[in-house]
Chain A
Amino acid sequence: MLDSVIDIAFAFPPAIGHVGSFARHLGVGYLRAALAESGIKSCQYLNPQPGTVSEVARDLLALKPGIIGFTAYDANFPLCLSIARSIKQQQPSMKIVFGGPSVTFGAKELLARHESIDLCILGESEETTPRVLGDLLEGTFPEDDQVGVAFRRHGEIVCTAGPPLVGATAPSVQSALDVTPSPYLSGMLQDGRTGLLTGRGCTHQCQYCCFAALGRKKLRLHSVERVLAELELIAAHQQRTGQRYVVPIHDDAFTLLPARAQSLCKTIIDRGLKLILSCVTRADAVDDELLKLMRAAGFVGVAFGLESAVPSVLRATGKVRPPDWPDHELEPERRFLEQVRQSVISAKKLGFTVGVSIILGLPTETAADGEATLRFIRALPIDYYSHNFLCLFPGTPLWDTHSHFDLDCSIDEMGLPVTTGYAYEVTTLRPLPKCMLERDASLIRVLAADAMYDCEAPSATGDSISTVIIEAEELTAETAEWLHKVLAVGGTLLQLYPPLKRDQSEQRIQRDRCMMTEHLVPARHYIQVKRTPTRTRNDRYVIACSKTDLYRTHKPSLVSITSTDGPSPMFAWLRGVSASCELCDVSPALLQSTELTRLTRCIDAEPAPSPLTQMPIPPRFRYAGRWLKEIVSCKSLDRLEVDSEGNVRCCRFGDPLGKVGDTKEHLTGRLSELARIAEQRRGCHRCTMAECPRCPFPGLDDRTYCGTIMQCAPAFRTLSWIRMYSRLPSMVARQRDWTAAE
C-alpha cells in the first residue's frame, strides 16, 4: 500500500461486440465516491484505443495500484479474465478483485475455475467495499463476519452472505439512496454520457430479471434535490465543453412512481436545464400527462419492456402479476398490452424515439406465441425493437424453476451461465425490419468488406494490429494463441473459409468459435466468411457472426457481400447504373486505361464532385492503396493476413513478413525492410511522380506498376473521389457505432 501511487485502479473492459474502449462506469463512480470518503485513493483506467491484452495489463500496472478491480458482466468477462491473467504473469503479487453482476451470483464457480481472481465483491458494495479493500491493501483477507465477499482461504472458497442493500434501512424510500455519496457531486464523474440513476431496484416480479434479483425487489430512490444537483453539474459540463449529448437515466423503470417522476420533470423544467435525456420504463407506469412532462423536460428517447404480447406468457413470466396470482382471467395482462399500445402511440405522437424490447423463449411460450408477439410489434409505430432470446441467470427465480418449462441451462467451462435449450426453436422466428440486429448486421458487413479488401482497415485500436484475416479451413490452437498475444483489444478477426459442404461448414464454424473463446482472443467480432459459388463470375461471401446468425436464414442479403475481380461494376456505375457488385478491382481498367480515361473525363469536365452526388453509391475498390495516394497502404501492421500455411503478410500480394507465432516487433522490422527494398529496387527516391502511393506490394512487376502509375495519373483524382463516395456507407456505419459506444 505504501509504495502505491493509488490504492485501487478500476477497469471496465469492453464487452464482446462493443468498440474496444475502456470507458467510465457509473457503478464504479459510486464506488469510488464511497472509497474517497474512507480515504482510499482510486482511479478508473480509461483508454479509447487500447493495445494488446498484455499492453493493457502493463498500462494498469504502470498506475502502481495496490489492487486492480474489474467490473465484470458476462459479456466482458472473458476480456476481464484475460487481462487479469496477464497482470498476474507480469506481477504475481498484484491483488485482483472482481465485482459486478457476474460475480454476484457466480462467485463460487468463477473462483473455483480462475486462480487469477483473488477476491470477488458481491452486489451493491458501497457499504462493504471500503473495509474489504482497506484490509486487502494491508495484506489481510476478510474475516468470516464480513458480508458481501467471496475469496479463497487455504484452498477452500469462502462465500459470505450477500451485502445489505444501499439505503435499505432508510426511513423514507424517496431519499433512501442519498446515504451513498454522488459520483458527480464528489467529482468522480463529470461527463453525463455515463448516465445517472435516480433510483435503484424494481418492485415487480419478473422471473427472469437479474436486476430484480440484485435489488431484491426493493425500490430505493435519490431525493429530487440530489438528482437535480447532478443534472445541473452535467448541464454545466455540456455548456463548458460545448457538447450536447443524451444523458441516459439508467433506472430499472424511471416512472415506477409516476408522481415522483412528474415532480422531477416539473423541477427540471422550472430550473431551465436544457438537457437531452432518455430512459427505460414500464408502459403501465406512464400516461399522456407524464409523457408530455417528460418531453418538456428534455426526454427524447423512451424504451418500454414488452417481453411478450401473450397474456398467459406474461403471467408465467411475472411481468405484470406474479405467476401465482389468483385471477385466472389474465385481465391485468390484457390491460398491460393495451397500455403498451397506447403508451407507444402517445410517445410517438409527442416526438419521442420509441423502442420496445421482446424476449423469445419465455416460460410456457410456444412458437405461435412468439409469432403473436412479433405481430403485435409489427403493428406498433416504434422506431426500433430489441429482439432478445431468454437468458437464464443464477439468482433469478427462473434459474431454479427452468426445468418445468422445457428450458435448459448450464454453467460453461468459463464458469458463466449459458441457456442451451428452449421449449421451441426460437431462431426460426424471423426478426422484423425495425430490429436493432439489422444495424449490427450492416456494421458487421462493413467491417468484413473493409477487412477483406480495404488497404486501410480503419483502426479503432491505435498503433496496434487491429485486423487479422485468416485464410484457412480451421482456426488452430497455435494461431488462436498467437492472436491472443498480438491482436488489439476490440480488433476484428476475420476467417475466410474455402468452399465447404454445408454440414461441414456449420461444424467448423462452431468449432472455431469455441477455439477462439478458449484462447481468450480479444476480438470485438469474430467474422467467419464462407465463399459460395455463383453462376456469374462474381464471388459471393456469406458472413457468419454470432451476433447476426439469425439473418443467415432469415435475410441472407444482410449478411452477404458480392465482389468481382474485374472493373465492370465501376464502368457500369460510371454510366450512371447502380453497381451490380459491391466490390470490384480497378487494376485491369488501369492497365487498359483508354475507356477509363474517357469516362472519368466526363466527370472531370464538370465542377467536381457535384455530378457524383447525383449518382448511386459507387462500388468499393479492392486494394485501392496500390493506386491512390493518401491511403496508408501496407506501411503499418494495422491489418495482417495469414494464409493456410501460417505465413503472415500485410497484403496478399506481398512477401511473408513471418510466421504465426512471431512477435509484433519482428513483423514490423521485416515490413520496414521489405518496403525499403521495394523502394530501392524501383528507384523511388529518384522518381518525381507526386501521385504515386509507392505501394510496396502492388502485385505487379515494377515496370508494369510504375508505367501504369505514369499513364493513369490523370484519372487518379477522379478515382479518389469515387473511392471516397464509395466509402460513405462504411464511414456512416462506423461513426454511428463509435458515437453509440461513447
Chain B
Amino acid sequence: METKKKDVRSWMRKQLGRETADAMLKKLDKMAKKKAPFKAIETMIAADLSKHFQKVRRYLDRHMDIECPFPGKGSK
C-alpha cells in the first residue's frame, strides 16, 4: 500500500498534536486487535477527543465569539 504524505496519522497529528494523535491511534489499534465493536471504538474516540479539547481549550477561546452582540466579546 502506497504511503501518502498527508495520511491519517499526519492529519491527526496536525489536528491534535503528535502526542494525543499517536496515543489515540495506538489505542485504536489495540481495540481493533481485540475486535471491539465499532460503537465502542467511536465512543472511545469521542471521549478522548473531548478530554483533549478540554485540555487545550485555550485554542477554543470563547472571548472572540462573533455571535455575541458585543463586538469581540463572548457572552458572560
Contact = CB atoms under 8 A, between A and B. Distances in A.
B8 A388 contact: no
Contacts of B32: 608-609, 721
A45 B61 CA distance: 24
B50 A738 contact: yes
Interface string B1-41: 11110111101100110000000010011001100011101
B26 to A, nearest CB: 10
A34 to B, nearest CB: 16
Given A278-B63, A353-B59, A736 B69 contact: no
Contact of B60 (A388, A608, A739): A739
A308 to B, nearest CB: 12
A36 interface: no
Contact of A210 (B59, B67, B69): B69
A736 B8 contact: no
A576 B3 contact: yes
Nearest to B29: A610
Given A248-B63, A739-B60, A613 B69 contact: no
B57 A246 contact: yes
Interface residues of B, number: 50
A736 B62 CA distance: 12
A250 B63 CA distance: 8
Contacts of B76: 25-27, 195, 197, 250
Interface in A275-300: 276, 278-280, 300
Interface string B36-76: 01110110011001101111011111111111111111111
Main secondary structure of the interface of A (DSSP, over half): mixed
B64 A739 contact: no
Contact of B71 (A245, A359, A628): A359
A397 interface: no
Of the listed residues A210, A547, A735, A738, the one surrounded by the most CB atoms of chain B closer than 10 A to its CB is: A735
A208 B62 contact: no
A740 B71 contact: no
B64 A611 contact: no
Instruction: Select the residue from A25, A246, A391 with max chain B CB neighbours within 10 A.
Output: A246
A16 B8 contact: no
B72 A386 contact: yes
A728 B66 contact: no
A16 B66 contact: no
A300 B53 CA distance: 14
A630 B64 contact: no
B43 to A, nearest CB: 11
Contacts of A47: none
Interface stretch (A49-57, A499-507, A614-622): A614-622
Contacts of B67: 15-18, 75, 547
A101 B75 CA distance: 10
A245 B59 CA distance: 12
Contacts of B62: 248, 740
A245 B46 CA distance: 17
A575 interface: yes
B70 to A, nearest CB: 5
Given A209-B70, A357-B72, A388-B72, A616 B54 contact: no
Contact of B58 (A246, A386, A607): A246
B46 A731 contact: yes
A73 B69 contact: yes
Contacts of A300: 58
Interface string A698-742: 000000000000000000000011001101110110011011101
Given A75-B68, A721-B32, A614 B3 contact: yes
Contact of B63 (A197, A355, A612, A739): A355
Interface of B: 1-4, 6-9, 11-12, 15-16, 25, 28-29, 32-33, 37-39, 41-42, 45-46, 49-50, 52-55, 57-76
6 contacts: A102-B69, A576-B3, A577-B2, A578-B4, A614-B1, A728-B11
